[in-house]
Structure 1
């Protein structure tokens, strides 16, 4: 990495002159004098120890090195402009940052976000997903909802929903003999060993099959007819209502507990209260369904 960098203004002046093919037009675009543009480019050539333009009277053309630097500089300035513009999202006045797992976001929260937006159009919701629980003390997150949470400093912790798990598959697989059904394996409670330990009946599950670290992908695979899976009652509600899943038996076993962490700096915000109230009511309705 370079220990010293050329001034950004010199790079901007060079890029404009290279793109427009004129020091005069570059000066007009950047609201500078032509002399200032010339000085910027001379300082850049001194820094690089090679010419960037051929000068012939008022006409200028790029050298080979100039062509190379033009491509690099345009890419650099474009990325910088995009990065700076992206920072605007951090100062939106009504922004609420919500963290959850990809599975919960895709299978439960996303289908209901339209309702939340209709009820609370004033909330500028930023949905941030991650496979691991965030550190609320170091990340800018107002609320996190997950099934793998424990209490954290500077946050309020509340258990919201006690999930249940049951074996299911796409209805088309019920026509196949048990011996021909692929077994889909998940992690933690979605592993079939949890079903066995909790006293679940034999539904034809086998030790081999397809394995998934993401419970959302596990559910997607079951809905697509790839095999039988141990699925979350909460996450599978929509798929079951749409006829994509059929339980293999009436039994269910204890699943994970969904909880939230609300950062104490955000607790008093009307945006946070609106989201938490809506979420609490939606999960209560899910438990009654």
Structure 2
């Protein structure tokens, strides 16, 4: 990495002059004098130790090095502009940042977001998904709703829902003999070893098959007819209602506990209270 960077103003002046083909036009575009643009470009050429423009009277054209730098500079300035615009989201007065797993967001929360938005129109919800548990002390997150949470400093911790698991597959797969059904394997509680340890009956599961680290993808694979899987009762409710998944057993075993972390700065926030009240009501209805 460079120890010293050229001034951003010099890069902006260079980009404008190169794009417009004129120091004069660049000065007008940036509300500067032509001499200021010339000075910026001279300082940039001194820093790079090579010319960036061919100068002939009032006309200028890029050198090969100038063409190369223009591409890099335009990309840099564009990324910087996008990044700065993205910061506007942190100034929204009614924003509530909620972290959850991709599986919970896709299979449970997303189908119910229209209801939440209808009831709580003043909440500007930003849904931030991640596979890893966030560090609430260092990340800008108001609430985390996940099945892999534990107590963290500066946060309140509450278990919201005790999930259950059961084996299931697409209804069309029921016509396939048990010995020929592909077994879909998940991680943690969605692993078939958990089903067996909890006393689950044999539904034809095998040690080999297809493996998924994301319980959401595991559920998708089962509902698409790829094989049998151990699924979350909470997350699978919608695909069961749609007729894309059917239980292979009436037995249920203990699943993950869905919990909530609320950062101390958000504990008295009315927006956070609205979201949690809606969330608890929706979970109870399931």
TM-score by length of structure 2 reads 0.98
Runs of 4+ in 1 over 6 A off after TM superposition: none
Residue 22 of structure 2: aligned partner: 22
Output one character per residue of 1:1-28: Cα deviation in whole Å (capped at 9) or x when no partner. 2111111111111111111111111110
Q: Report the Cα offset of residue 267 of structure 1.
A: 1.0
Total equivalences in the alignment:
286
Residue 236 of structure 2: aligned partner: 236
Residue 8 of structure 1: aligned partner: 8
Instruction: Tell me the distance in 2 between the aligned counterparts of 1:50 and 1:204.
Output: 72
Q: Report the Cα offset of residue 130 of structure 1.
A: 1.3
Residue 282 of structure 1: aligned partner: 282
Output one character per residue of 1:168-213: Cα deviation in whole Å (capped at 9) or x when no partner. 1000011111111111111111111111111111111111111111
Residue 121 of structure 1: aligned partner: 121
Q: Report the Cα offset of residue 154 of structure 1.
A: 1.0
Instruction: Tell me the distance in 2 between the aligned counterparts of 1:177 and 1:124.
Output: 50
Residue 214 of structure 1: aligned partner: 214
Instruction: Tell me the distance in 1 between the aligned counterparts of 2:199 and 2:59.
Output: 85
Residue 146 of structure 2: aligned partner: 146
Instruction: Tell me the distance in 1 between the aligned counterparts of 2:214 and 2:72.
Output: 39
Residue 63 of structure 1: aligned partner: 63
Residue 95 of structure 1: aligned partner: 95
Unaligned stretches of 5+ residues in structure 1: none
SS in 1 for 2:98: strand
Instruction: Tell me the distance in 1 between the aligned counterparts of 2:228 and 2:126.
Output: 34
Query: Which shows bigger deviation, 39-48 or 263-272?
Result: 39-48
SS in 2 for 1:97: strand
TM-score by length of structure 1 reads 0.97
SS in 1 for 2:266: coil
